[in-house]
Amino acid sequence: MSNKPLILILCTGNSCRSHLAEGLLRQFAGDFLEVASAGSKPAGYVHPLAVQVMREIGVDISTHTSKHMNEFLNRKVETVITVCGNADQACPMFPGQMNRHHWPFDDPAHATGTEEEKLAVFRRVRNEIAAVFRAYADGRRDARQ
């Protein structure tokens, strides 16, 4: 257990977007925030293309697992960030929760076409998530000073 504030990133399936966001936020602010992700209806796996596009930028999420948000009901969650509409609607209040943000992103798991076309969608969503979560991490870092 960490004494860092816990940021919980929620998505419905906890297979793509929430893991992209978890890996990125951990990279940007893991020195002062504890970061986890979960889903309201976990898919039971982390999408291989999510792992691949994160590896491309030097972030390893290959050991992440798909978890149910109820696993965090007994934890003090400081901030909940939902990255899809369904998770925002299904999100309970967590003990100690002070903040809630909803930043929806397209679900790359629904990408169609060739492998390269699917990868392009995963990369686009990864980059969009990176921009938003880098700004969030920078704001949190600035607030600490």
Note the pLDDT tens digit of each residue in 80-122.
999 986 655 555 666 666 788 999 999 999 999 999 999 999 9
pLDDT bin (cut points 50, 70, 90) of residue 55 is very high
16 is catalytic: no
102-140 burial code (b ≥16 CB/10 A, e <16): ebebebbbebeeeeeebbebbbebbeebbebbeebbeeb
Q: Which amino acid is at 24?
A: L
Give the CATH fold of the 6-139 domain: Rossmann fold (3.40.50)
Q: Which of 11, 46, 69, 83 is catalytic?
A: 11
According to the model, what pLDDT value does residue 145 have?
A: 79
Give me the residue spans of the domains in the chain.
6-139
Which pTM does this prediction carry? 0.92
Secondary structure element (H or E) that encloses residue 112, with its range:
none
Asked about 11 being catalytic, the answer comes back as yes
